[in-house]
Chains A and B, each alone.
Chain A
């Protein structure tokens, strides 16, 4: 029976990691699908979120309040970056997008180092959820991880609602499908770009914030999640939210079970999965060739 619970714990961990990845990867895939921009700095927004959560919690003394303050701050930073840098990239070759966003990673990493320093920090799990759910005499599962998964699911649901049911969502879907046509129809594409970019930044930052209590806050934390998010986007198909969702869960579970079943090569599991998907469907599960 204990074995069943161990598997259950791994599944919960995998799903939780996958849902967290989805928050980052969905922004990445939308920014690419709609704005045509490959954003290497997306992982840095995740890092920024985690550090915002850390600094603001220190400042105001409450984790939830820190998140409430951190989100508008992230949106503002996203809008400022769009205005200053990304706006100039829409018509440029991918090569320059890669280069500029790579430069942005270096800048954000050093600004972080100047402002907060290079130490590893931890954030206490919010008191409300600082308990574990007992499964057997020896096994238990931390409640906060379940809360994280629930929050991510709510966010995913909200996103689906906005994209499927609102006028803005319609424009976004149309934009991902055929950008030129949307422009020709007289829709203010610039406004849509700004909204999508700021939302993507905020989602990644939010993921960093809620992950901070379990993942701790450390330099370079954005790069790891960026590359895994790339794998998610490649597996799911660029521009596809549905693909990003399925890809995230797949990667989350593959990574978690890889660590248990094949610890020697656990770092490579997700990439092998990607290679397999590429052999089978080069444009990803939901991508168009």
Chain B
């Protein structure tokens, strides 16, 4: 039902909200990719923005100054770059676990952040513009135009639904059962003879590639990249979306992306908060703290009640 509403929205909605919703759906993809790690594999990553940034910066590098990059060329390359980045970083960070994993993933994302700041080719701390959106033409036929806001909206919607379907399929496959087993009891899975490290790495790479997809779309939507794409604020607020939405579910993170982005939009609204809107992060911080103290199962937990999975306390 929510999906139908989203599909019909462009018929009535105004341009501002069309853009906002497209952005939210991109973040829903990003949040689902993180939930694959946090909720389903039991790996709490605080550096997921690394792959978001890789996808975004790849598009920037592949876009000629005043021409469009081909969507069908640049998107697979962006996904590949994010996946390879995830493979390299994953091979290192997966040697650690628990709280080390949290710190190390954060540190690697921060490393890319500083690289982006210091590299002139990447635009330094100011970032860089992508003047023309990627072109979707194949052999002269153009199925849709990313420059058109309504088209972009539907592309984002399709990508979100596609990601949901993909992850649903993956989680129902043997692979999905193995990573759920790893979350529940890694020792047992190892004892059963599963190459646990390889499964975790595969999940990490898949999540990284999907985050790259989200980053690519975000860069394409606003035609702009900057080092904050790699930043830990990005990773932090993403983790918030996943947890508040309801961890270990597929629709939870999307719900979290909607709730949190709309909340942010509301809290930073000048007309409502008269001057205090500049300090919207204060209200956001208070909201997060209260949510952690009062809602152990996220917003999804409110909807699902006791059926929502709870993270086991250690």
The interface of chain A, by Cβ under 8 A from chain B, is: 32, 38, 40, 85, 88, 91-96, 98-100, 102-107, 109-111, 113-114, 223, 227, 230-231, 233-234, 238, 264-268, 271-272, 274-275, 278-279, 282-284
Contact = CB atoms under 8 A, between A and B. Distances in A.
Given A107-B285, A267-B117, 17 more contacts: A88-B293, A92-B292, A93-B313, A94-B102, A95-B247, A98-B102, A99-B288, A106-B281, A106-B284, A106-B285, A110-B282, A113-B279, A233-B103, A234-B107, A267-B118, A268-B114, A271-B110
30 contacts: A38-B102, A38-B103, A85-B293, A95-B38, A95-B247, A98-B102, A99-B288, A100-B288, A100-B289, A102-B288, A103-B292, A104-B285, A106-B282, A106-B285, A107-B282, A107-B286, A110-B279, A110-B281, A113-B279, A114-B279, A227-B106, A227-B110, A230-B107, A234-B104, A267-B115, A267-B117, A268-B118, A271-B111, A272-B111, A275-B108
Contact of A95 (B118, B243, B291): B243
B76 to A, nearest CB: 28
Given A98-B239, A234-B107, A107 B289 contact: yes
Contacts, number: 129
Residue among B46, B107, B232, B240 facing the most chain A CB atoms (10 A cut-off): B107
A278 B288 contact: no
Contacts of B93: 278
Given A88-B293, A103-B286, A110-B279, A94 B99 contact: yes
B282 to A, nearest CB: 4
Contacts of B107: 227, 230-231, 234, 271, 274
Given A99-B288, A107-B285, A91 B313 contact: yes
A114 B95 CA distance: 42
Interface in B234-279: 236, 239-240, 243, 247, 279
A93 B314 contact: yes
A95 B103 contact: no
B44 interface: yes
Interface size class of B (residues with CB under 8 A): 35 or more
A268 to B, nearest CB: 5
B92 interface: yes
The 8 closest A-B pairs by CB, nearest first: A267-B114, A103-B288, A106-B285, A110-B282, A271-B111, A107-B285, A282-B95, A230-B103
Contacts of A111: 282
B194 interface: no
Contacts of A99: 239-240, 243, 288, 291-292
Contacts of B191: none
A89 B108 CA distance: 26
Q: Chain B interface mostly helix, strand, loop or mixed? A: helix
A99 B175 CA distance: 29
Contacts of A98: 44, 46, 102, 239
A93 B311 contact: yes
Contacts of B110: 227, 271
Given A106-B281, A271-B107, A265 B288 contact: no
Contacts of A233: 103
Interface string B74-103: 000000000000000000110110111011
Contact of A230 (B106, B236, B243): B106
Contacts of B281: 106, 109-110
B192 interface: no
A92 B313 contact: yes
Contacts of B313: 91-93
A266 B296 CA distance: 41
B292 A278 contact: no
B312 interface: yes
Interface string B102-135: 1110111011001101100000000000000000
Contacts of B114: 267-268, 271
Contacts of A104: 285, 289
Given A98-B239, A99-B240, A110-B285, A266 B104 contact: no
Contact of A282 (B96, B285, B286, B311): B96
Contacts of A279: 92, 95
B178 to A, nearest CB: 22
Contact of A268 (B115, B236, B240, B284): B115
A116 to B, nearest CB: 13
Contacts of A268: 111, 114-115, 118
A267 B114 CA distance: 5
Contacts of B106: 227, 230
Contacts of B311: 93, 95
B289 A278 contact: no
A133 to B, nearest CB: 32
B48 to A, nearest CB: 12
Contact of B104 (A38, A107, A265, A278): A278
Nearest to A91: B313
A174 B74 CA distance: 56
Contacts of B239: 95, 98-99, 102
Nearest to B283: A110
Contacts of B103: 38, 230-231, 233-234
A46 B284 CA distance: 22
B118 A278 contact: no
A116 B70 CA distance: 49
A95 B118 CA distance: 31
A235 to B, nearest CB: 10
A114 B240 CA distance: 24
